[in-house]
Amino acid sequence: MKLTPKEITRVALFSSLISLSSLILKFGGDILVPFSILPLMVMLAGAVLGSRMGALSVAVYVLIGLAGAPVFAKPPFGGIVYVLQPTFGFLFGFIPMAYVIGKLLEVNNSRHFLRFVGAMAVGTLVMYLVGIPYLYGIVKIYFGKPFSLWNALQIGMLPFIGLDMLKAVIAGFVAKTILDRLDQQGSIK
């Protein structure tokens, strides 16, 4: 994948924004899956940067964390051992989430607000399709605890789906506004 300096800068900017958002505005303390604004930033990365660069910016964030930088929301905050955290599946799911959002918005270049919200909602479901089975597998298989797929849904999705859909609406509005402004300035490409 060959990137221009402008694309590299945009990917780095969004990787930085995602890293910062993982550390601020998180709620839930020691619960298994904390609430944060991280999904909102991932949605924006996919929508604003597109499928390829959006997914790349999220992958860079995940790789930076796995390399040891303290950019993840829960202890140990980074390092390869983080793959054993039940919530790592959601972080990994952010990569296809950004890709799907970008791809859905690239298919038809319509700038209708509901298209943005729909793409964000579908991307969120992709994140859950990766994160929930991972949560289930780590708790059931690695930790060896009695845990069902229904328990994983109760812990990893049901408390968050409403707020994630609200994030989809907010991200849709913000992404549409950013892209409309960039179009007006002629600096989108």
Per-residue confidence (pLDDT) for residue 31, from 0 to 100: 53
Is residue 123 included in any domain, yes or no? yes
Per-residue confidence (pLDDT) for residue 134, from 0 to 100: 97
Is residue 187 included in any domain, yes or no? no
pLDDT tens-digit map of 46-75: 999 999 999 999 999 999 999 999 998 778
Is residue 84 included in any domain, yes or no? yes
DSSP string across 161-181? HHHHHHHHHHHHHHHHHHHHH
Q: At what angle do helices 38-49 and 51-66 cross, to 10 degrees?
A: 140
Is residue 100 included in any domain, yes or no? yes
> Is the distance from CB of 26 to CB of 73 less than 8 angstroms?
yes
CA distance 12 to 33: 27
Per-residue confidence (pLDDT) for residue 111, from 0 to 100: 84
Is residue 106 included in any domain, yes or no? yes
Is residue 184 included in any domain, yes or no? no
Is the pLDDT reported for residue 34 higher than 70?
Answer: no
pLDDT tens-digit map of 139-148: 999 888 999 9
Is the pLDDT reported for residue 27 higher than 90?
Answer: no
Q: Which residues contact 110 (CB under 8 A, 6 or more apart)?
A: none
Instruction: Indicate the residue type of 68.
Output: G
How many structural domains compose the chain? 1
Is residue 186 included in any domain, yes or no? no
Q: Which residues contact 188 (CB under 8 A, 6 or more apart)?
A: 179, 182
pLDDT tens-digit map of 142-170: 888 999 999 999 999 998 899 999 999 99
Q: Residue 120's domain spans which residues?
A: 5-178
Is residue 121 included in any domain, yes or no? yes
Cis peptide before 76 (omega within 30 of 0): yes
CATH code of the domain containing 50: 1.10.1760.20
Residue 124 burial (CB count, 10 A): 25
pLDDT tens-digit map of 86-122: 989 999 999 999 999 999 999 877 788 999 999 999 9
Q: Which residues contact 123 (CB under 8 A, 6 or more apart)?
A: 42, 43, 46, 97, 98, 100, 101, 104, 168
Q: Who wins on pLDDT, 138 or 31?
A: 138
